[in-house]
Chains A and B, each alone.
Chain A
Amino acid sequence: MKQTTTINPTWCPGCGNFGILGSIKQSLNKLGLKPHQFVFVYDVGCSGNMADFVYSYGFHGLHGRALPVAAGIKLANHQLPVMAVIGDGGCYGEGLNHFITLARGNHDIVVLSHNNYLYSLTTGQMSPTSKKGTKTPSTPEGSLEETFNPLANAIINHATFVARGFAGNIPHLTNLLNQALNHKGFALLDVLQPCVTYNKDLTYDWYRKNIYDINQQGHDPKDKKKALELAYQTDKLPIGVFFQEQKPTYHQQVSNFSDTPLAQQDISNIDLSSLL
């Protein structure tokens, strides 16, 4: 099955995006989704440049705005699986209000956040997830903001699936992606992604030494308090499914919800008699 276009990826050699793309391909294969049965919404950034390489329905939107486009597609056609491919800058910076609100609404989309702790496409400025004091071209004396915590924010804002993966562990990441795609509701999969060009501290080796799998250690994703506690951990970085619960999705709760998606409803004859 054709999964990629004829355009060669333009990412730097060794970029975490290659691993993430590998996981996406394996996951779609595993779930048996053909390229026309799936929609990607791409944000702007190195991750979003994947738009040209993946063979599938896609919408390459504005910086920070992938999530509302994805939620709009889902409301229009709830039979389609929809995934937003976005970076830490777009998701937790420019588009944070969308992230929080759509999580609270349990919009049935997967948010695949490529978290490399920097703005890399704009040549390596600090991002919301950069550690306080990070020296970058926009913060030569060190960044002044405390770090944004994506997982804790997702949990307290009622996301119903919250997980973290690592771009250097493709089988593990693929498994998380399968679970995120099978989940009905707002799913955040935050991916620790080395940026080999601009982030010399957070290398593949560093991550391998500092991450551990919480599910292997017996964490129960139903335990919300424990999930929040794990999200706050910084000495070591937990990966795996932090939290999951089943709740009605946004589209299932709208007043005119029907099995026939809005996009397939006939509008050729509209009768206003009962309205006027």
Chain B
Amino acid sequence: MNTSFNWKITGAAGEGIKKAGLIFAKTCFKHGLSVHGYTEYPSLIRGGHNTFQIHASSADVVAPRFQLDVLIDIHGQAKDIHKAEITQQTVILADNLPLSDLVKQAGGSSKMKNMVTLGASCFLLGLSLDKLNQTLAEVFAKKGDEIIQANHKVTQAGYDFAQKNFKAKPPIKANGENKNKIFLTGNQALSYGAIAGGLKLYVAYPMTPATSILHTLAAKAKQANITVRHAEDEIGTANMAIGASFAGVRSMVATSGGGFSLMTEALGLAGITETPLVIVNVMRPGPASGMPTWSSQGDLLYVIHASQDEFPRIVLTPGDPQECFQLAKLAQNLAEKYQLPIIILSDKYLGESYFTIDKPASKHQNQRYGFAKTEDRQNDQPFPRYQDTDTGISLRSIPGQLGGIHLCNSYEHNQLGYATEDSAERIQQVNKRAKKIPQILKDPDFIKPVLYGPKTASQTLISWGSNKGVILQALPQLKSTNFIHFPSVWPFPAQAFQTLIQDSKKLITLECNSTAQLNQLIRQQTGLEIKNKLLKYDGRPFFPEEIVNQLS
């Protein structure tokens, strides 16, 4: 019996590669397997080379695998492109599987070639054809019985042909059923987490790879009782979210680096007006248009410093869909608690890859923070919206509230919100805002770095964001190695980090950018220089095998 397999389907855009991959991934999930799905595709609608690969296992999988058990080559280019992933054990389905003939014989349409390969894959990997057909029926439910039946005939043809002509691999040890698990992308998890955190208004402009957050929330808007608006541009998006937030609603926007650049002035607006704002940046390689459909961690230092001048902000860096959910919810609450902008940094790999995780709780509680009761105040006296306090957090009132009249001001302002250029008032407001930083670091709700693996080890990997799963997948194969994951990087949790590395011997940072940005940040914030760096910046995530090879 096999305990895991690695399967990949490839072809041109328009040949249904992602659709087929997703159907096969869901079929694997139905077997009770832990499934990870990773897709690569160029920024075009027809042509090019698309892939969807599935790492499935009877144990938990949290990362893609490099070497393939099955490779499906629909347009005859995969053998070259994926040469390095092919071993002697790899079964390649290409010319040896007569797709057109099989589809024709089964009475299907040419669009169903991809489904032949899925039927054949079921035979090769010892998976149930019934479960594949069941998945197909679910995915194509809206297309009607006729289409579903036609697809079933085609998958059967693929299965029968494989049975006659190929030798099956040892069957996978399936667990039967995935109870209380869910199969979803980081972007989907993030969307649900935001809803759990009381999101009421989501505004966005489409930008790969953040677009699926817009699609997810738009599709669920009615059910979740939220308003979703596809706005005119990223500038309008961020300003609208700020307006809604000023009026008392929890809002969020999401984009990638280019859109984030357009939102930068609004980021500062949220900063100086002390209006809660959650911005999600699902990173892709840049600068400018860069590589739209690929992955990167190149925006870390940028988002920490984006906008002119200084103001407090929080930067969260979820490592997996669980954290996408958890931190999207947390961001809604912390943005309101501290009245500041929060940036959630995800990336294409985390945002668009599929993971098998424990189903998040369905019931969620939210507290409201910082709203003043003002009915007893005189309505003709301005409310001191920017009152200086010990924590730097002042109470808010919202428009319509009797006794709470104030000006929310993008100009430097006094404690009442009116514009000022006075030296003492300027210093007071800068210091007031800055006082939030130590409060955040003291807050038990603010997520801190976590150590995985043995408490003491001869080497410690340090990373952030989406590398978490890949490193955790590699860790059991590394000798005496542990791992520190940063789910937040700003304000920099220096004390928590220094406690974790007290017993560490050799430190190694790992990240998907070319200048080791977390490494730089650690040095800036702690004075610690870490000489060992593993960097990757070709648009692909690290694969666990690469980490094992480089560290062994």
Q: Which residues of A contact B (CB under 8 A)?
A: 2, 5, 7, 34-37, 39, 41, 44, 49, 51-52, 55-62, 65, 67-73, 75-77, 79-80, 97-98, 100-102, 254-256, 262-263, 265, 267-276
Contacts and interface: CB of A to CB of B under 8 A. Distances in A.
A48 B487 CA distance: 41
Interface in B190-206: 192, 195-198, 200-201, 203
B501 interface: no
Interface stretch (B61-69, B72-80, B151-159, B244-252): B244-252
A101 B232 contact: yes
Given A76-B201, A269-B365, A34 B248 contact: no
B240 A68 contact: yes
Given A76-B244, A276-B362, A68 B198 contact: no
Given A51-B407, A77-B398, A269-B364, 20 more contacts: A36-B379, A44-B410, A57-B406, A58-B406, A58-B408, A59-B243, A59-B408, A60-B407, A68-B237, A72-B246, A73-B243, A73-B244, A73-B399, A76-B246, A254-B227, A256-B226, A263-B398, A265-B200, A267-B368, A268-B365
Given A57-B400, A59-B408, A98-B232, A72 B225 contact: no
Interface stretch (B88-96, B215-223, B508-516): B215-223
A92 to B, nearest CB: 15
A102 B225 CA distance: 23
Contacts of A7: 418
Given A36-B403, A68-B236, A73-B243, A275 B200 contact: no
A58 B337 CA distance: 22
A72 B399 contact: no
Contacts of B366: 267-270
Contacts of B379: 34-36
A271 B220 CA distance: 13
B400 A80 contact: yes
When A and B form their complex, which 4 residue pairs have the shortest distance between CB atoms, in order from nearest? A72-B243, A267-B198, A69-B243, A76-B247
B176 to A, nearest CB: 21
B200 A36 contact: no
A52 B239 contact: no
Contact of A270 (B182, B239, B364): B364
B249 A262 contact: yes
Interface of B: 182, 192, 195-198, 200-201, 203, 220-227, 229, 231-233, 235-237, 239-251, 265-266, 269, 273, 359-368, 379-380, 382, 398-411, 418-419
13 contacts: A44-B410, A58-B408, A61-B239, A61-B242, A62-B265, A71-B243, A73-B243, A77-B248, A98-B232, A98-B236, A262-B227, A263-B200, A270-B195
Given A262-B201, A267-B366, A276-B182, A68 B231 contact: yes
Most chain B CB within a 10 A radius of its CB, from A44, A58, A73, A274: A73
Given A65-B235, A72-B241, A101-B236, A272 B195 contact: yes
B405 A56 contact: yes
Contacts of A269: 363-366
A73 B245 CA distance: 8
A101 B405 CA distance: 30
Of A39, A41, A72, A100, the most chain B CB neighbours within 10 A belong to A72
B405 A35 contact: yes
A50 to B, nearest CB: 11
A72 B239 contact: yes
A255 B399 contact: no
Contacts of B249: 75-77, 262-263
Contacts of A267: 198, 200, 250, 366, 368
A272 to B, nearest CB: 5
Contacts of B223: 274-275
Contact of A272 (B362, B400, B403): B362
B244 A75 contact: yes
Nearest to B225: A256
A57 B410 CA distance: 14
A76 B360 contact: no
Contact of A80 (B182, B269, B399): B399
A69 B240 contact: yes
Contact of A72 (B196, B240, B265, B411): B240
B400 A52 contact: no
A110 to B, nearest CB: 15
B247 A263 contact: yes
Interface centre among B239, B251, B403 (most CB of A within 10 A): B239
Contacts of A67: 236
A72 B251 contact: yes
Contacts of B241: 72
A69 B405 CA distance: 18
Contacts of B248: 76-77, 263
Contacts of B245: 72, 76
B55 to A, nearest CB: 23
A65 B233 contact: no
A2 B240 CA distance: 29
Contacts of A65: 235-236, 239, 265-266, 269
B246 A73 contact: yes
Contacts of B269: 61-62, 65
B533 to A, nearest CB: 39
B419 A36 contact: no
A200 B404 CA distance: 42
A269 B197 CA distance: 9
Contacts of A79: 400
A77 B407 CA distance: 17
Contacts of B196: 270, 272
A269 to B, nearest CB: 6
A52 B233 contact: no
B216 to A, nearest CB: 10
Contact of B247 (A52, A80, A97, A274): A80
Nearest to A51: B407
Contacts of B398: 77, 263
A64 to B, nearest CB: 8
Contact of A36 (B233, B236, B405): B405
